[in-house]
Structures are given as C-alpha cells and as structure tokens.
Amino acid sequence: MKWNKLTIETTTAAEDMLSYELSEMGMEGVEIEDHVPLSEEDRKIMYVDLLPDEIAPDDGKARISCYVDEKEDLQAVIAKIKAKIEELSAFLPMGSGEITLGVTEEEDWINNWKVFFKPFRLDDNIVIKPTWETLSDKKDDDIVIEIDPGTAFGSGSHETTKLCISQLKKYIKKDTELLDVGTGSGILSIIGLKLGAHHAMATDIDPNAIRATNENFAINEVSEQAEVQQVNILDKEEADSFYEKNNGKKYDVIVANILADVIIPLSGIVAPLLKDDGVFITSGIINTMEEAVKEAMLANHFEILEINHMKDWVSITAKKA
C-alpha cells in the first residue's frame, strides 16, 4: 500500500500548533524537522544518546510532514490544510506554508517508526506506553496508559495534555463524574478513570476520534466506566439533545483540551452541564490567547481558580461564580 506524504514549510513558532491541528484532522504519522536544540527531557523521552558534533543553528524554520492514504481525496486534504494554515496565520507566523507531495510505501513508516517510540513518564506516576512495548521500570503506584502515538489525536506528550493531567490529578475524586469535551484519543478520560473517577463521558465531533476512543477504552479496560458520544457541544440543538439524552446530567469535572477559539464560545454554553461546585478545566490555549479566554470566562460568570503555563501553552481552571 502506498501513502501520499505531504510536507509543509513553516516556522518553529508554529510547529507545535500546526502539528497538533494536523493530528486533530486525523493526519497519520505527523513528523517535525527543525534545528531546535534538544532539551535534556527530550533526550530522555526520545532515547537520544549521541548527537552530531556539528548541528545547524536554529534558523526558525521547520518542516512538518504527514501521511495520507492513497484512497483519500488528496486535493480536498490539501485544501483543508491550507485553510487551517490561513486560520492560524492570524496569530502565528506560519512561514511560506508551501506544501510538497511525495509517495512512500507503507512499510517505510507504518512499522519502522515504532522503534522511536518508547514508554515515557508524564510525571512521577503516570506512564504512557505504546501497546507493543513492555515497561521494565514499573513502580507499584504507576498508572500505565496504553496509547499508540501517531495513530490518532494525541498520545499525551504534548504540553496541553500535560497541563490538563496535572489539574485532573488535583480535582478528581473517587465519586467524580467526568465530561471530556473534544476527547480525541480518550486519553484524558482514561487517566481520569485511572485516578479514581466514577464515570467518564467523552465527546467529539469527529467519527475517527469516536472510533479511536472506543478502542483505547477497551485496551485500557475502562469501557464499563466510560461512554463516548459524537456531538458538537457548540451547536445549541446538538447540545440540547445531548443534555436531554443524558437526563440533564451534570458533571463534577468538565475538561476541554481544544483550542482557545473553541473554549471561548464553550464557556458560554457549558455551565448547565457543570455542577454548582464543579470545576471547568481548559487547555490548548496558546499564550497569545490567554487574555481573550480569561475575559470570556469572566463574562460567562466563571471564577478563575488557577492559571498554569507550560512553554507557549496555557491551562485555565474555573468554577461557577
């Protein structure tokens, strides 16, 4: 089987956001090439022991590649990517945005890339590991989540996911009812349940995310405590239907690791789904949008409990005022 390889010329300032968006669009095997020096944490996660003596200086340029099934409508995919680049250019330097096309055999990446992915720790006791790997250094209190990276919607290594997880660890209790909006791979729902939540409801608008989440629920043996529904919470009719279908259920914790442009309108809709003493955890907010999200939260009668930062990303946790 052959795959179309799309390579996008962009900038290091935009590479995180663009790669995140490509993953959200269901692009396979997202790769980033740049000259940004590796941090010590990166070296540990990527198992990099040796580097060349001479490394090209960071020039601010980046190249992002992804793979598209040859059966897909390639021009439609390219048009969708170009539209996303145009959207992101409103607040990020995107570079030329030029897209080049190549072709590769499935064997070249669908299996061989696995050698580069090893189990990694998100913090002291949460470990993400691919399904094909074994964990040699497992501790008694480790929470092990099995997610295959590169297959769909995030494996937990992105800063926005880490920010959400730190808040889930703080607010999840044994009787917590969790709502995960824009679930992607289901990773936050799974971690919430492993932390002791009673039940998780995961939602997404993408049928691919629904399928991936159901698979990951099964792999991590949480299917009996979890449910996933395809719904656009931002659409009033769909939101009302979701509310009625679930008998007006309210949640102790609502988590949304999406984007600021979604969180802003979501803050005006989500209150009826949140218990009076519940918390609304948000992430996926680029730092240039922090003030806009804060203003939306306050305008929609939320009290901000805390704001956390990791690199260029922001997490805001709030409750009803």
Residue numbers belonging to the annotated binding site? 161, 182, 204, 257
Nearest to 313 by CA among 120, 143, 142, 167: 167
**Residue ranges at the known binding site for S-adenosyl-L-methionine:** 161, 182, 204, 257
